[in-house]
Amino acid sequence: MNILYFAWLRERLDRSQQQVEPPEHVKTVADLIDWLAQNDEAIALAFENRKLIRAAVNAQIVDHDAPIADAHTIAFFPPMTGG
């Protein structure tokens, strides 16, 4: 699946996207963050305060307990400041 990063998350990770193949036991957005953080110190630091992290699965905003079984694209970003 493809992971997208936006705003200061993108800048701190120095990447706007990456391809990952998480193992079977990674079932939710929260599981995915844990798994990514275990394998990447930059992600562990940038995602430290989970309350600041919003997520979207296939371009739909979801909570961190949402399943990712059918996900082809998962996006992570800070609180939105549009308008």
Partner 1 sequence: MTVRVIAHGFDPGGQTNLFLKEHNSAGAVVTFTGLVRSSPSDPITSLMLECYPDLAINQVETILAQGLTRFELLAATIIHRYGTMVPGDPIVQVMTMSPHREAAFEGAQFLMDYLKTDAPFWKKETGPTGTKWVDAKSADDRAKARWK
Residues that bind partner 1 (CB under 8 A): 4, 6-8, 10, 56, 59-61, 73, 75, 77-83
Residue (6 or 35) nearer to partner 1, CB:
6
Q: 55: buried, middle or exposed (CB in 10 Å: 19+, 13-18, 0-12)?
A: buried
Q: Give the Cα separation of 42 and 48 in Å (integer).
A: 10
In the complex, the smallest distance separating the C-beta of residue 61 from partner 1, rounded to whole angstroms, is 7
Residue (39 or 42) nearer to partner 1, CB:
42
In the complex, the smallest distance separating the C-beta of residue 76 from partner 1, rounded to whole angstroms, is 10
The number of C-alpha atoms within 13 Å of 53 and in the hemisphere containing its C-beta is 23
Residue (39 or 50) nearer to partner 1, CB:
50
> Which residues are registered as beta bridge partners of 3?
18, 74
